[in-house]
Structure 1
Amino acid sequence: MTCSHCGPSSGAPTLVGSPRILLVGNPNVGKSTLFNRLTGARQDIRNAPGTTVDLSTGGWRSFGSQLTVVDSPGTYSLLARSADEQVVTELLTGDIQVEGGKPDLVVAVLDATALSRSLYLLGQLSRVGLPVIVALSMVDVARAEGVEIDTETMSSVLGVPVVAIDPRHGLGLEDLAGAVRTGLDVLPFLIGPDAKACTCAEGGDCCGSTQAADATTLAELLEDADDVFAWVEVVSSRLGAKRPRIDTTFSDRVDRVLLNPVAGILILLGVLWGLFQLTTSVAAPVMEWAEGFVGGPVTDWALALTGALGLSDTWVESLLIDGILAGIGVVLSFVPLMFIMFFALALLEDSGYLARAALLADRLMRSIGLDGRAVLPLIVGFGCNLPALAATKTLPNAAHRTVTALLVPLTSCAARLTVYILIAATFFPSHAGTVVFAMYIGSVLLVIAGGLLLKLVFSDDTSADPLFLVLPAYQKPGVTTVFLSAARRALAFLKGAGVTIVVMLTIMWGLMAIPVTGDHDLADVPVEDSLYAEVAQTIAPVFAPAGFNDWHASAALLTGIVAKETVVAALSQSYQVDEPEENSYEDAEGSDLGERLRADFDDASGGHGQAAALAFLVFVLAYTPCVATLAEQKRILGWRITAGAFGAQLVLAWLLAVAVFQIGSLL
């Protein structure tokens, strides 16, 4: 199609500007897999303006990355009932713009195994007035179930190009690129070398509006839902897409086990245990290697550099080694963990199991205002809060993502365990195991109470609705696409949260490096004479009602914001004693550190050391886990919500600690 006032097109089309292609489709139709295949590593993840909804953008490799592809959230309808669906609608209308404008063309990804449902969304897309190309996915799965769809017939019926694709194996992508190139050929920014670009300012019909008008003929701008449903029935009958009668499919046979009320729950618990193990045991050696690489060879190179520059034993060297490189080491140690977790979640999602897990856990999670899909991040949180926050990205509902991301820090991560063991063994040697177990029970209760409160604040119109899930057919995950998805999200963490972590750890170095008493040089100061100790002494009286008005304890809590693993080390450093060598009750009970803690807690609490110790444990359980968690929350939720959550969690931890001590001191 051409414009009457435009010059003829000849030769290969040339991109001028940066056209924008929007991928739209139902959840679980392979849309994100297609996006990963089209863009490879040329991707960026950002929040839609004013929301916590993720938008992924990237350059289409077949077009030399001159064409921008936008992956929108999955939606069943343009009649938005959630923030995610609203974002899709606003992307189509241009209310939310990506790369400076509204989409130039829509690729509607339709599921061949559930064509009627996909056609309903396509019918609504017809009202938007944008050029549309249909990418038909799951064709191989539909064929295995006895459903054959002829793309040429479908294209003729719909009046738009239809391309069969298999993004997991990279099939049909060149055909899709050709259809997109043809669809864009009549638009002003895709012209031949001798052609004249048309613009609406020239008067009359311009290329863009003519193409948009043609696109609307696929459903004649249907006026209401009844018309859309009627149109879907007509199209389905003309395509002969009625599913043949099949006794059972492979997915049906597997679901008899995986959705069984007994066997399914046991299998789900096994999967959750496996995810928990990933965050505690499997990733640990890789994390240690990454941190050791920075602390070993990289640090040695940095020391050699400062030596060559004559900066040995100066504050510059200390800043570089103990501040910046220490922060980089923490960030890099988390990257393997994030990649492993993203890879596991992508495997579960691509295989079709994630939807089943959500269905099994739905009744339990609805008691706190969420649905079953939130169970995975919360369970993972008991291993490590950081990948648990990352796992909230698998939740399709924006309100549920926000609530879950705020609840995750209340799950007691493994890093807190070292603190539990030290304090429990020191003050409750005969009941240390029971005390530690009580901390985990308390964590579960905090999650439940927090969920009940947050659902009143962050509820949306869909919070009380029953869970609507389309169970996709089981399929073999595409390793390449799963790998790319995991790598993309791990890289997004590295870019988004990494800088924040390094900056905050450098600030902590500054607190410990600046002397405030005594005659000391910068970065060569005993901890008790540093600004760090001064700040700790200033905030220590705040904890008097909780029974531990002691700067050693408050300093350790301050360091715990960096990482909970450092609380024990900070106590040892402030007392200038060795920390327990083994992470065991016996070693902690008889350590020099344990004796110093008993003496100071008894003194600060007026003889109620055990009550003060319990209050300290409750505070450790309830307050912000670590700077990495804060950085990831900020990346997911933005600064405003993260700062509010940080303050609220500190207040909550203080109130609980005070209550525990005041009640415990009376017993």
Structure 2
Amino acid sequence: MSCHAPGPGGLPGPDDARRGGGRADLRDPATVLLVGNPNVGKSTLFNSLTGARQQVTNAPGTTVELQVGVWRQAGGADPVRLIDLPGTYSLLARSPDERVTADAVAGSSRLGRADLAVVLVEAAGLARSLYLLAQVAQTGCPLVVALTMADVAASRGIPVDADRLAEVLGVPVVAVDPRTGAGIPELARTVEAALSAGPGSVVGIEAVADAADADGADLAAGLAQAETLFGWVDEVTQQLATPEPRARTASDRVDGVLLRPWVGVPVFLAVAWLLFQLATSLAAPLMDAVSAFVSGPVTDLARVLIPGPAWLEGFVVDGLLQGVGTVLSFAPLMAVMFLAIALLEDCGYLARAAFVADRAMRSLGLDGRAVLPLVVGFGCNLPALAATRTLPHARQRLLTGLLVPYASCTARLTVYLLLASIFFPGHAGTAVFLMYVASVALIVLGGLALRRTAFRDLEQEPFVLVLPAYQRPRVRALLLSAWLRTRAFVTKAGRVIVATLAVVWVLLALPVTGGHAVADVPVQDSLYGSAAQAIAPALAPAGFGEWHSAAALVTGFVAKEVVVGSFAQTYAVDEPSDPSQAGDLGAQMRATFEETSGGHAAAAAAAFMVFVLAYTPCVATLAEQKRLFGGRWTIGAMVVQLAVAWVLAVAVFQVGRLL
């Protein structure tokens, strides 16, 4: 579709400084931005245009997640570098996500200046999309409009004609359906024509009105600007002569029931329970199958192919290959959860869940969307971190991501069952239940503490959420989204996991006393055991200051479920197949805890359980935290978690031994 001359309500043409010529350097691929409101179909369009030629990354210097891909257009046109920016309703940034979008459109970020912006305008929500469109035009960035959800608007009795909208706006408008691919070839031709002809051919890159400072320094000018933009939006909508929407749509009728507390809360709890089951029951067999394949046939083949000394075989098989197996075993879990969350988001229910849960999350400075990652965290912390991407702002994602490790995952449950069956045989169920109560308390108290310290700047904004129409999910788009995000986890977080497990193997393989060969040394005589013995005195105030316990906790950094196996290994007994039936292991642990606690073994066991609940999560979760939020926040969170775990464990033991 060619550019149109501006109509009476159109955006003014480009200023003289930006006229004429094409792109300055045709050797580099053009950079095209996707800009739009949340839930307007932007990410779906991005996936349709780039396919698997994309990567998930962070905006430079931030923890804001971006998707960057290559759009290879048909007909031999040059490929385009496509950037999917965070959704926003305004370029007057109030969050890091909105700041990334505003700076990228203005060309002032480290992403570089874009050659073109494709602004997605929702036909069913025209006014709010036009407001953002006008702000993009103010920045001077050339633009093309992609009109989405035209079918939804038509079903509501408010059809929008793309040609008429292009005539009124004075910019190219292409109707697209990212879910089916309709209109994408025409969008490709329009973008290519705009890039080839240069900025001068794209009308509408001059300010609609004189802009105030983006940070709102001049409030009066900012209000005047907003009034001007709203006036322009009203003028455009009047020229389109769109009819009044129908009174109630099918989505409205469903929401009339689903958003009532007595229906919405039970439905939300049912969905949360289903997600919990996916993270445990469904994903667990897949994880076990992958783990068995790596530890079985792949390991056997590696032992045959690796020449040289035994220590080399041990490093490759028990170090590197063990790390690869751990990463690959988590991949099915991540894929299942990514798929489930994308499904809830695509069909429109996720916004409803946020609405229902919002009131419960307000005290933590979060909106209702934060409840989903926290619920998933009780199944597994790793996919819970992935679920934070549904939150609208980077600071909210970070705060939620710091709270997720306090959700007691099922891996910790095996430790609770072991300790409870040994030290509280008559009240094991109650002991385990209290650990989950403590977990919820830690999340709430941790959130309140963070809101009053590191997150004082997190404003308590009114919860404004546009509820998208219910839609039938598109399987191909969901599978592609899950694949790409799972691949990002495996390639980025996987490196940290493999490196960490390799280091653990080295610590276990290196002897610190004579008479042992490398990779053939008892745990207590290894560098790992020596480190555990050095740590043990610090745990004495909690009642379990002995190297067996310290070694198990250090192993828990790798994975909480191997704490039980570590106890069995250090005591040189068989690991119990059922943690609630401890056998010989239970007898030896009881004797050790009696000795280290001065006869208060039950109090020491309770302290150990609390420590396991509160201290640093598994290495896979740490790797994902680093990928999402950066090393500084991850290391800081580790230090705080260890301090909280130690203080709580000491308090539980010191109070418990007096009772």
Equivalent positions of 1:452-463 (< 5 A) are: 452-459=448-455, 463=459
Q: TM-score, normalised by structure 1?
A: 0.92
Is 1:243 the counterpart of 2:254? The answer is no
SS in 2 for 1:497: helix
Is the counterpart of residue 544 in structure 1 residue 540 in structure 2?
A: yes
Paired residues of 1:386 and 1:632 also in contact (CA < 8 A): yes
Which residue of the partner structure matches residue 80 of structure 1? 93
Q: 1:493 pairs with 489, 493, 496, which one?
A: 489
Distance across 2 between alignment mates of 1:412 and 1:39: 38
Indicate the residue corresponding to 2:226 in structure 1: 225
Number of matched residues? 630
* RMSD of aligned alpha carbons: 2.0
Matched, 1:95 2:96: no
Equivalent pair of 1:416/1:564 in contact (CA under 8 Å): yes
Q: Contact (CA 8 Å) 2:96, 2:394: kept in 1 or not?
A: yes
Counterpart in the other structure of 1:605: 597
How many Å separate the matches in 1 of 2:192 and 2:26?
10
Which residue matches 1:530? Answer: 526
Q: Secondary structure at the match of 1:572?
A: helix
Q: Note the C-alpha offset of 1:174.
A: 0.5
8 A contact 1:120–1:232 mirrored in 2: yes
Partner Cα distance (2:416, 2:540) in 1: 21
Amino acid aligned to 1:330 = T
Question: Cα distance 1:26–1:461, how it changes in 2: closer, same or farther (>3 A)?
Answer: farther
Alignment pair present for 1:178 and 2:168: no
User: Which residue in 2 is equivalent to 1:157?
Assistant: 168
Helix, strand or coil: the match of 2:66?
strand
Alignment match, 1:370: 366
Displacement of 1:24 after TM fit?
Answer: 0.5
Instruction: Tell me, yes or no, if structure 1 residue 113 matches structure 2 residue 133.
Output: no
- Which residue number in structure 1 is paired with residue 463 of structure 2? 467
What is the match of residue 197 of structure 1?
A: none
Q: Which amino acid aligns with 1:264?
A: G
Residue deviations 1:189-229 (CA, integer Å, cap 9, x gap): xxxxxxxxxxxxxxxxxxx4x357x4326946677111100
Once the two structures are TM-superposed, the CA of residue 241 in structure 1 deviates from its matched residue by 2.5
| Structure-2 change in CA distance of 1:152 and 1:219 (3 Å) | farther
Residue 204 of structure 2 aligns to a residue in which SS?
helix
Does structure 1 retain, via aligned residues, the 8 Å contact 2:32–2:118? Answer: yes
Shift of residue 620, structure 1, vs aligned partner: 0.4
The CA deviation at 1:526 is: 1.5
Q: Name 1:647's counterpart in structure 2.
A: 639
2: distance between equivalents of 1:136 and 1:240?
17
> 1:94 deviation in Å?
2.2
Q: CA 1:660 to 1:460, structure 2 compared with 1: closer, same or farther past 3 Å?
A: closer
For residue 68 of structure 1, what is the aligned residue in structure 2? 81
Q: Cα distance, 1:65 vs. partner? A: 7.3
CA gap of 1:454–1:20, structure 2 versus 1, over 3 A, is same
* Mean Cα deviation higher: 66-75 or 453-462: 453-462
The equivalent of 2:219 in structure 1 is: none
- Structure 2 distance, partners of 1:521, 1:152, is 79
Query: Structure 1: which amino acid aligns with 2:257?
Result: V
What does residue 149 of structure 2 align with? Answer: 138
Structure 2, gaps ≥5 residues long: 4-13, 212-223
Aligned ranges 1:523-602 → 2 under 5 Å: 523-583=519-579, 585=580, 587-588=581-582, 591-602=583-594
Q: Deviations over 1:33-73 (max 9, x none)?
A: 00011111111111112221111100002167731000000
Match of 1:203 in 2: none
Aligned to 2:10: none
In structure 2, C-alpha distance between the alignment counterparts of 1:21 and 1:137, rounded to whole Å: 18
Counterpart residue identity of residue 266, structure 2: L
Residue deviations 1:370-396, cap 9 Å, x none? 110000000000000000001001111
Instruction: Return the offset for 1:87.
Output: 0.9
- Note the C-alpha offset of 1:97: 2.9
Residue 618 (structure 1) aligns with: 610
CA shift in 2, pair 1:461/1:559, >3 Å: closer
Deviates more, 1:54-63 or 1:597-606: 54-63
Task: Measure the CA separation in 1 of the matches of 2:453 and 2:64.
Answer: 18
Change (3 A) 1:398 1:242: farther
Kindly indicate whether the alpha-carbon contact (under 8 Å) linking 1:272 and 1:380 is maintained by their aligned counterparts in 2.
yes
SS in structure 2 opposite 1:262? helix
**Maintained 8 Å contact 1:81/1:462:** no
Q: Which residue of 1 aligns with 2:343?
A: 347
Amino-acid identity (%): 55
Q: Is 1:35 matched with 2:46? A: yes
1:216 and 2:205 aligned: yes
> What do residues 148-197 of structure 1 show as CA deviations (whole Å, max 9, x unaligned)?
2111111111010000000011111111101100110123xxxxxxxxxx
- Asked if 2 retains the 8 angstrom alpha-carbon contact of 1:15 and 1:66, the reply is no
Q: Residue 7 of structure 1: CA displacement?
A: 11
Per-residue deviation, 1:15: 5.7
State the TM-score, normalizing by the size of structure 2.
Answer: 0.93
SS in 2 for 1:505: helix
Measure, in 2, the Cα distance between the counterparts of 1:331 and 1:95: 38
What is the letter of the counterpart of residue 279 of structure 2? Answer: T
With over 3 angstroms needed to count, the CA separation of the structure-2 counterparts of 1:527 and 1:19, relative to structure 1, is: same
Counterpart pick for 2:504 among 505, 508, 525? 508
Task: Work out whether residues 57 and 71 of structure 1, in 8 Å CA contact, stay in contact via their aligned partners in 2.
Answer: yes
Paired with 2:345 and 2:278, the residues of 1 have a C-alpha distance of: 17
3-state DSSP of counterpart to 1:216: coil
Q: Structure 1 CA distance, aligned partners of 2:577 and 2:137?
A: 68
CA distance in 2, matches of 1:403, 1:582: 36
SS in 2 for 1:45: strand
SS in 1 for 2:321: helix
